[in-house]
Amino acid sequence: MKILHAITSLDKGGAENHLSILSSEQAKKNNLVKIFISKNSFYWLKYLKRNKIKVIKSKYFNEKNLIYKLIKLISDIYSLKKILEKFKPEILHAHLPYMEIVSFFCIYLSSHKPKFIISKHVDNVFFKGSEGQKKNILGSFLVRIIAKKTLKIIAISKAVKFFLISSHVGLDPSKIKVIYYGINNLSLLSNTQKKYISPYKKKNKDEIILGCIARLVPQKSIDNIIRSIHELKNKNVKLFIVGRGPLKNQLISLTKELKIENQIFWIEFVDDLKNFYKSIDIFVLTSHYEGLGLVFLEAMLSKKPVICSNLSAMPEIIKNNYNGLLVKPNNPILLSKSIKLLYDISLRKKLSFNGYLFVKKNFSVKKMYSETINVYKNEKKKI
């Protein structure tokens, strides 16, 4: 089968990681796979080439203002059109909002009409990004228009499907198939040989290190974790925060205001996930919402207990008191109580063991591949 994926970038993020693993598995199963990308971001490029996947880059990267963005959009539509007409794939699979728009227009203009599939990686609409889930009339309208041209929409969680069929968007439930991410080992998600070096080494057995990997944006609610550290009043608790984003300076100021800056360690980027997770005792991230949350799967695969919010897709991954702890968002007092519960090493071990088994059973690469291929094969072209 010829498969063409279209995605905004090949950066290190949930959607990009998912596509890299999925497309590589597709190539291993003797499918001919190509990827078209729009942004000048190539973290996964070498990995994909090793798996014999051709990556075709956009010819135009300038987005400095609205006019240039419009020129880029037109350029990307015609670039993808040329690829379609030359490669003639049976499947065009779009990931992330920008490439949904590009693919939608391309389908209209191209003489070759492949099956059009979309993966939805987050439960919000166009133009909202990581800022929230409030209704957006134009964004919801675009989602509905593009959905009419698709044969199937793959939602990465039940929460994403629920959002898409809710009054926010209003899509037909029969058009949406839930397929979870697949993850077999952390080496698949590490693309360089740079070894992780922990910024802090434990000085006594009572110390507990919390880890968090997230973009520093409002959606992730990192301030809630920082405030919970303050509520604990325990100098033995440290927090490693891995990530970049516009809120970093504001969050650093908050740690100073709360006089806990010596307990917080800021890390820009980690590629060696295996050794990062080895260095922490508990993974914590209390986002306002998550499409799924690949980092939770990573933590459980690393046999670490997880604390996260009790809403959006997170309860699909974390079962309270079984493989982690669920807490109400925006409540640092409740979060601090959950962290205190995990001072108990035996409870941490129990949750970690259950989490590992849960990921192995429910989030395999084989399962993700077979369910995706079934969508490709079973959906008939519109006449």
351 contacts 324 by C-beta, under 8 angstroms = yes
Instruction: Give 199-208 pLDDT, tens digit per residue.
Output: 999 988 899 9
- CATH 3.40.50.2000 region(s) of the chain? 2-182+364-378, 192-361
CATH 3.40.50.2000 fits 192-361, yes or no: yes
Q: For the whole model, what pTM was predicted?
A: 0.88
User: CA-CA distances (angstroms) from residue 288 to 46, 139, 155, 239, 255?
Assistant: 34, 20, 19, 20, 21
Name residues whose C-beta falls within 8 Å of residue 228's C-beta, 6 or more positions apart in sequence: 332, 333, 335, 336, 339
What letter would DSSP give residue 214?
-
Q: Which fold has domain 2-182+364-378?
A: Rossmann fold (3.40.50)
Instruction: Give 65-101 pLDDT, tens digit per residue.
Output: 888 889 999 999 999 999 999 999 999 999 999 999 9
Token pair, residue 191, equals: 């693309």
Confidence tier at 214 by pLDDT (50, 70, 90): very high
State mean pLDDT over 178-203.
82
State mean pLDDT over 285-299.
93
